[in-house]
A and B are shown apart, each in its own frame.
Chain A
């Protein structure tokens, strides 16, 4: 009997010793096999030996033996739990190394700015229309109330294809095309490429982008034109921007207006400002009430309907907003320029 008790003591010590050296889950399993293995485990053998004892002895030794078994089981389970998770993961050496970044292509700044403008007008219930870039003299000029041979055409210096076809000098011909097809109410904007016979310089190019707006309905007034454009400009340049409306001339609007915004570069403080020339104001768009002759040209009765329209140069406005010094950058397509715009 005493030999069995001694053995129990011995294996308890042995286990305590061995379990303290365990570092991996694999070793836990080995210990389990060594002590609790079905055939040759130390405890299995002790239980075999225990069976040979008499009833009196069994009482005492049995309790000890069972205690040892449950202690070993608990200890192994605890050990296993402790070693399980961390052992399978490889440690990273330097977490500050850069992650795997994906390059996302850059939208062209004109596209970006055009979408920003569209977003504002779409939020006001406008829809977007487009039209051809090769136009006829009729749509580009005559229907818009430019008489043939009138000096007003000089401000829209034109690239001609032949006697009737030309590259549109503004997006305004699309106004005519839409009004020919659709009855009021009309509430549209028209973005697109336009062309002028301009020699390239820092602020002029023979091709650029415009966006045109047109509203036609009963009871539309100049006050509506002002309110809508003020909202638009503030949405684009911020609530605090100052703007002014002043009279101007366009053959297709009457009354006509030009809208200036305060120079965001110098705020009117620099008399040599290269953006506003020291005036403190930057011309940003042309607008007006749709000329009655334009309505007549598309069979809309100007006594019943009225409307307003505006046109804005996207390139120039983007130049002003982003403070880009040269319009040429837009069409050189230098990646060092373009790629700045996917960070916006």
Chain B
């Protein structure tokens, strides 16, 4: 909202510099966003709030500044040159829907010479960014931006039968607006109609037909009050926001309507007009003023202050509130109709605080009376998991939660996507059902910008319809690795990433989060190349997938290099109870190790061997490590060789060679029966 300094001076005598005025406005919350010199005038762009329609006119701003500076508002007179006829003789106002139009005031001004406005008026309007049109339209804007009360002017001769009906539109009715567009009205919209047709969309915009033109001589002034919700819904439906609708939807002051009509009429007298006798004021159910009880104790309790009662009385009175002492330091406060925001005691506390000055309120430490540890460790574990990934050299990314449905469809995530009703664009119109498409796009972005390797992860929600009407958001982890893992150094050649880089990271997440009971099983999934995907199981329940990205999918992003990626359901993973830590005594006696190489059928994989080895029941066997797997021409066909190192230890003494020999014999014999091993 633009405020002109000269215009403000019509309401209050000020002799502050523009800078001083700006800092005063800031103190009371009328935040000055810019100060612009405009000839002799200065224009302030101020931030206004949705609950303060009273500040949408110069009068309201003047009232605030006058209260702060302890000045009086000027009273202005609006003399009228009256006609002998009464308004009622010329027009007939009929409110058919008093819910949507609580008050309607009208005056007729005859014999107005329509033409350009005088300079003083043009200057006022131009200062606040309005374009002067003609003296009649300019007067209505001047009144609106003075008092914050929108008024509308009609060409009286175009109002058929001199009738003004405030009613809902009828089905099928249309109107051509002042902006020259024909709009269809619907029966929820309030209109101003004459005998037969709508002549204006109430509180939003006038009709072209009944508008003021060069040939207008008799003007009907409308100064009314409309229901804020109705105006807002109409304006939204029509996609129109006007100076009038902006004020009405915030709640205009019904008691400003008569004064605004008179002010407009008085100004039109300057252009040859003569005003009908007696304001026609239709106000079927006059609103009773609101009262609020204010306790000084409460003011001090909420602000942490000791404020003098005199200060409270002075400020609130200055703002137009009427205080009546109800008891010691307790008042019944009558709220003026222009302050729609003041409804409760807390609202009045804010008024006191604003004018006292937030900067003068002392600062204190918020007292703590109890302490509390977080109920669950989920957040800590998510951070732990990120640390594991940082350690493995993965960078963290964050992608938008919205995505392109066409791209997402290629992934066949199997989740029913959630569509936005009013997306920013078609490419951002659904919520992601997987983290991987975003990670792949990040890889593409970086490869296009000189990156040679991309190793990234994201922790974030995916979203989908679980059933019809039941939505679900789920915390997932996505990991991607592609391209160069490390560059060339004097010590080492460059290395490409591979599947086991990814798998190692996934395994370490499980290890370092205490989920030691994890395993993998082959899975066919549209994300991956056939036979190149694994499902991750923790405690035998699936928590995620990893594998080599499907080639067709990669090519649809113009990715040539192999991409390895994983997606883990963190809600599922972190729900599981990690192993509870227990201290193991540090060994006091030396251990010993033995290696064993053997052949098995090549249908057996590492994990199956490992699971069988874990089942061995051998005294003093502390641990084992499968350190080699070999397959090739040197071996009999259909066989694969594994090498295992077994570690033995006795907790209370050094083991004898013979004991270890016996244990190895036992291992060999058990593996011969379980894995059908052949010693090499």
A238 within 8 A of B: no
Q: Interface with A: B121-129, B183-191, B422-430, which one?
A: B422-430
* B434-470 interface bits toward A, Cβ cutoff 8 Å, 1 = contact, 0 = none: 0000000010011001010011110011010000000
Query: Which chain A residues in 249-284 approach chain B with CB under 8 Å?
Result: 249, 251, 254-258, 277, 279
Nearest to B350 among chain A residues (CB) is: A255
With known contacts A224-B366, A227-B366, A256-B350, A162–B396 Cβ distance under 8 A: no
* CA–CA, A230 and B366, complex, Å: 11
Nearest to B489 among chain A residues (CB) is: A98
Question: A247 is contacted by which of B354, B400, B419, B455 (Cβ under 8 Å)?
Answer: B354
* CA–CA, A132 and B470, complex, Å: 14
Rounded to whole Å, the gap between the CB of A194 and the closest CB of chain B is 10
Q: Interface with A: B109-117, B276-284, B300-308, which one?
A: B300-308
Q: Interface with A: B150-158, B386-394, B528-536, B607-615, which one?
A: B386-394
Q: Point out the residues of chain A lying under 8 angstroms from B401, CB to CB.
A: 133, 167, 193, 195, 207
Q: Point out the residues of chain A lying under 8 angstroms from B584, CB to CB.
A: none
B291 within 8 A of A: no
Question: B471 is contacted by which of A130, A149, A161, A230 (Cβ under 8 Å)?
Answer: A161
B29 within 8 A of A: yes
A-B contact pairs, 27 of them (CB 8 A): A102-B393, A105-B389, A105-B393, A111-B386, A125-B371, A127-B373, A133-B473, A149-B229, A159-B421, A160-B420, A167-B401, A198-B424, A199-B424, A206-B428, A207-B401, A207-B402, A220-B366, A221-B302, A222-B361, A223-B304, A227-B362, A228-B366, A245-B359, A292-B345, A331-B398, A331-B400, A342-B395
Q: Point out the residues of chain B lying under 8 angstroms from A255, CB to CB.
A: 302-303, 346, 349-350, 353-354
Nearest to A289 among chain B residues (CB) is: B302
Rounded to whole Å, the gap between the CB of B68 and the closest CB of chain A is 12
Q: Point out the residues of chain B lying under 8 angstroms from A97, CB to CB.
A: 490-491
Q: Once the chains bind, are A149 and B232 in contact (CB under 8 Å)? A: yes
Total A-B pairs in contact (CB under 8 Å)? Answer: 236
B363 within 8 A of A: yes
Q: Once the chains bind, are B51 and A249 in contact (CB under 8 Å)? A: yes
Rounded to whole Å, the gap between the CB of B622 and the closest CB of chain A is 30
* CA–CA, A256 and B354, complex, Å: 10
Question: A249 is contacted by which of B49, B301, B353, B392 (Cβ under 8 Å)?
Answer: B49
Nearest to A243 among chain B residues (CB) is: B359
Q: Point out the residues of chain A lying under 8 angstroms from B361, CB to CB.
A: 222-223, 226, 245
Looking at chain A's contact residues, the main secondary structure is mixed
Q: Point out the residues of chain B lying under 8 angstroms from A115, CB to CB.
A: 383
Nearest to B300 among chain A residues (CB) is: A221
Rounded to whole Å, the gap between the CB of A182 and the closest CB of chain B is 10
Given A106-B395, A107-B396, A134-B418, 13 new contacts (CB under 8 A): A108-B398, A127-B374, A149-B233, A187-B366, A198-B424, A207-B402, A226-B361, A227-B362, A230-B363, A246-B358, A247-B354, A255-B303, A255-B346
Q: Point out the residues of chain A lying under 8 angstroms from B421, CB to CB.
A: 159-162
Q: Once the chains bind, are B369 and A185 in contact (CB under 8 Å)? A: yes
With known contacts A105-B390, A107-B386, A306–B301 Cβ distance under 8 A: yes
A215 within 8 A of B: yes
Question: A106 is contacted by which of B28, B373, B396 (Cβ under 8 Å)?
Answer: B396
* CA–CA, A97 and B490, complex, Å: 8
Q: Once the chains bind, are B473 and A185 in contact (CB under 8 Å)? A: no
* CA–CA, A185 and B574, complex, Å: 29
* CA–CA, A215 and B365, complex, Å: 12
Q: Point out the residues of chain B lying under 8 angstroms from A155, CB to CB.
A: 50
Q: Once the chains bind, are B350 and A226 in contact (CB under 8 Å)? A: no
Rounded to whole Å, the gap between the CB of B548 and the closest CB of chain A is 22
Q: Once the chains bind, are B397 and A338 in contact (CB under 8 Å)? A: yes
Q: Once the chains bind, are A108 and B389 in contact (CB under 8 Å)? A: no
Q: Point out the residues of chain B lying under 8 angstroms from A293, CB to CB.
A: 344
* A195-232 interface bits toward B, Cβ cutoff 8 Å, 1 = contact, 0 = none: 10111100000110000000101011111111110110
With known contacts A224-B304, A247-B350, A105–B392 Cβ distance under 8 A: yes
Interface centre among B232, B233, B420, B490 (most CB of A within 10 A): B420
The 3 closest A-B pairs by CB, nearest first: A247-B29, A223-B304, A221-B304
* B290-327 interface bits toward A, Cβ cutoff 8 Å, 1 = contact, 0 = none: 00000000000111110000000000000000000000
B6 within 8 A of A: no
Nearest to B31 among chain A residues (CB) is: A246
A128 within 8 A of B: yes
Nearest to A336 among chain B residues (CB) is: B449
* CA–CA, A341 and B237, complex, Å: 47
Q: Once the chains bind, are A227 and B301 in contact (CB under 8 Å)? A: no
Q: Once the chains bind, are A217 and B490 in contact (CB under 8 Å)? A: no
Residues of A within 8 A of B (CB): 97-98, 100, 102-108, 110-111, 115, 124-125, 127-128, 130, 132-134, 148-152, 154-155, 159-162, 165, 167, 185, 187, 193, 195, 197-200, 206-207, 215, 217, 219-228, 230-231, 244-249, 251, 254-258, 277, 279, 289, 291-293, 302, 306, 308, 330-336, 338-339, 342
Rounded to whole Å, the gap between the CB of A222 and the closest CB of chain B is 5
* CA–CA, A279 and B346, complex, Å: 31
Q: Point out the residues of chain B lying under 8 angstroms from A128, CB to CB.
A: 374, 379
Rounded to whole Å, the gap between the CB of A198 and the closest CB of chain B is 8
Q: Point out the residues of chain B lying under 8 angstroms from A231, CB to CB.
A: 365
Q: How large is the interface on B (under 10, 10 to 19, 20 to 34, 35 or more residues)?
A: 35 or more
B496 within 8 A of A: no
Q: Point out the residues of chain A lying under 8 angstroms from B486, CB to CB.
A: 103
* CA–CA, A127 and B378, complex, Å: 13
Rounded to whole Å, the gap between the CB of B399 and the closest CB of chain A is 6
* CA–CA, A215 and B369, complex, Å: 12
Residues of B within 8 A of A (CB): 26-29, 31, 33-34, 49-52, 228-229, 232-233, 246, 249-250, 301-305, 341, 344-347, 349-350, 353-354, 358-359, 361-374, 379, 383, 386, 389-402, 418-424, 428, 442, 445-446, 449, 451, 454-457, 460-461, 463, 471, 473, 486, 489-491
* CA–CA, A57 and B622, complex, Å: 69
Q: Point out the residues of chain A lying under 8 angstroms from B451, CB to CB.
A: 335
Rounded to whole Å, the gap between the CB of A138 and the closest CB of chain B is 15
* CA–CA, A132 and B341, complex, Å: 31
Q: Point out the residues of chain B lying under 8 angstroms from A198, CB to CB.
A: 424
Q: Point out the residues of chain B lying under 8 angstroms from A221, CB to CB.
A: 301-304, 364
* CA–CA, A291 and B346, complex, Å: 8
Rounded to whole Å, the gap between the CB of B230 and the closest CB of chain A is 9
Q: Point out the residues of chain A lying under 8 angstroms from B359, CB to CB.
A: 244-245
Q: Once the chains bind, are A222 and B353 in contact (CB under 8 Å)? A: yes
Q: Once the chains bind, are A292 and B367 in contact (CB under 8 Å)? A: no
Q: Point out the residues of chain A lying under 8 angstroms from B305, CB to CB.
A: 223
Q: Point out the residues of chain A lying under 8 angstroms from B389, CB to CB.
A: 105
* CA–CA, A108 and B344, complex, Å: 44
* CA–CA, A73 and B384, complex, Å: 62
* CA–CA, A128 and B373, complex, Å: 10
Q: Point out the residues of chain A lying under 8 angstroms from B491, CB to CB.
A: 97, 100
* CA–CA, A110 and B454, complex, Å: 20
* CA–CA, A231 and B374, complex, Å: 23
Q: Once the chains bind, are B301 and A219 in contact (CB under 8 Å)? A: yes
Q: Once the chains bind, are B390 and A247 in contact (CB under 8 Å)? A: no
Question: B363 is contacted by which of A98, A223, A335, A342 (Cβ under 8 Å)?
Answer: A223
Q: Once the chains bind, are B449 and A333 in contact (CB under 8 Å)? A: no
Q: Once the chains bind, are A330 and B398 in contact (CB under 8 Å)? A: yes
Q: Once the chains bind, are A98 and B471 in contact (CB under 8 Å)? A: no
* CA–CA, A147 and B337, complex, Å: 19
Nearest to A115 among chain B residues (CB) is: B383
Rounded to whole Å, the gap between the CB of B347 and the closest CB of chain A is 6
Q: Point out the residues of chain B lying under 8 angstroms from A124, CB to CB.
A: 366, 368
Q: Once the chains bind, are A254 and B349 in contact (CB under 8 Å)? A: yes
Q: Point out the residues of chain A lying under 8 angstroms from B428, CB to CB.
A: 206
With known contacts A217-B369, A338-B397, A159–B422 Cβ distance under 8 A: yes
Q: Once the chains bind, are B369 and A249 in contact (CB under 8 Å)? A: no
Q: Once the chains bind, are B344 and A292 in contact (CB under 8 Å)? A: yes
Rounded to whole Å, the gap between the CB of B606 and the closest CB of chain A is 27
* CA–CA, A206 and B369, complex, Å: 39
Rounded to whole Å, the gap between the CB of B525 and the closest CB of chain A is 25
Q: Once the chains bind, are A127 and B304 in contact (CB under 8 Å)? A: no
